[in-house]
Amino acid sequence: MPTCHIEGIATLTEGDQQMTRMTPLTPALCELAKWAFTTRRVNRGDVRGLSTSFMAAKAGDLILCQIAEIGQHKKIQLAERRVSESYPGDLVVLCLGDRYAPDQFLASAVIDDDLIDLVAGGGVAGRADAAHASMAAPTRLKPLGLLTGARGQILNVADYALPALPANHEVTVIGVFGASMNSGKTTAASSLAHGLMRAGYAVAGVKATGTGAFGDVNSFEDGGAPALDFTDAGMATTFRMPLGRIEDGFDTLVATAAARGAEIVVVEIADGVFQQETRAILKSSRIRDRLDGILFAAPDALSALGGVVVLDQLGLVPFAISGMVSCSPLATAEAAEVTGLPILSRADLWSPDVIALHVAPLMRHAAADVAA
């Protein structure tokens, strides 16, 4: 029976079965682990111990796990913003978190069994409560310990958030909402940011809600815009977070972007208009009140119309429609006919002329000039 020793863990293989024998755990194991994207702000030198008080764990707590079975998520997004192939026996540092993803998993931030689930490749673990029919069984994890600090306290990503800042009322903020997951929000948001930069504006991208992953940050930065997201505000995910905490995070992210030189901030809001946090934001929130304009992403003409109707019921009107619907000339024509709004493709959003026509009038300095 071959044995592969990793500090305090030994994985034994016999035939097709694997068994894990535990020896005393030490914080040194964390140095051997893969740290997920959700942990990217953590000072790893703060780790002093491991706690097995799992019943007291809460969303955002840092947890050392060993991969027991490979399932749906076969790779992990690392803090270094690259993807790492996963293997049974790998040590990983993740965040405990809730997840809302209609196309993937609904999950809760609890540890109530010997094994828990990897519910997001960006590094969120918990209990998978439901899944889309297309999903395989989740990758299974053996929780080894919650990371603790010098005072024995359980470390949480909130401990490493950006310094809280009050709302900035000078910078222009454009919100990007969508009909659903995979409606094209990220492409619309990053394309808008790129077009604003080409038009000569100092721009930043912000992902204000969602599940921690590097795709959105990378998309903004690929287009040339510096980016921040809710993990910078101390949240591994925003699902089931109090609205006040999400609003505070939004204020800090926008104000930080402004302090770093942005004059316009493009803010992507995750999921669709019926997701509970997104719905609350649109209904009544400091985020809604702070937006200078809304770009709406939709997968098809019917979703575009539905989104416009929902926003209208809330007293909101997007300045344009984008997203997957804009990839099809026929769907674009349908959406334009039923909504009466411009349908802007990715390439349209890159254009300084389009920016001048549809976005420049929303700029706060432009409004001030008109008022003067």
pLDDT tens, position by position, 327-369: 999 999 999 999 999 999 999 999 999 999 999 999 986 544 4
Alpha-carbon distance of 176 to 185, in angstroms, equals 7
If you average pLDDT over every residue of the chain, what do you get? 92
**Lowest model confidence (mean pLDDT) among 4-13, 23-32, 196-205, 299-308:** 4-13
| 42 burial level (CB within 10 Å; 0-12, 13-18, 19+) | buried
Q: Is the pLDDT of residue 25 over 70?
A: no
Query: H or E segment at 312?
Result: helix 301-313
* Contacts for 372 with CB less than 8 Å, ≥ 6 apart: none
| CA nearest neighbour of 217 among 343, 41, 86 | 41
Cβ 34 vs Cβ 76: under 8 Å: yes
Return the pLDDT at 301.
Answer: 98
Helix (H, G, I), strand (E, B) or coil at 211: strand
Q: Mean pLDDT, to the nearest integer, of 139-146?
A: 97
Enter the DSSP assignment of 262.
Answer: -
- 366 against 280, higher pLDDT: 280
Looking at this protein, which amino acid is placed at residue 320?
A
- 364 against 218, higher pLDDT: 218
Return the pLDDT at 28.
Answer: 87
| CA nearest neighbour of 210 among 191, 193, 186 | 186
pLDDT tens, position by position, 283-301: 999 999 999 999 999 999 9
Give residue 26's pLDDT band: very low, low, confident or very high (50, 70, 90).
Answer: confident
Neighbour tally for 355: CB within 10 Å: 23
Q: What's the chain's length in residues?
A: 372
- CATH no. for 172-371: 3.40.50.300
Instruction: Give domain limits for the chain.
Output: 3-158, 172-371
For 202, the token pair is 């100092």
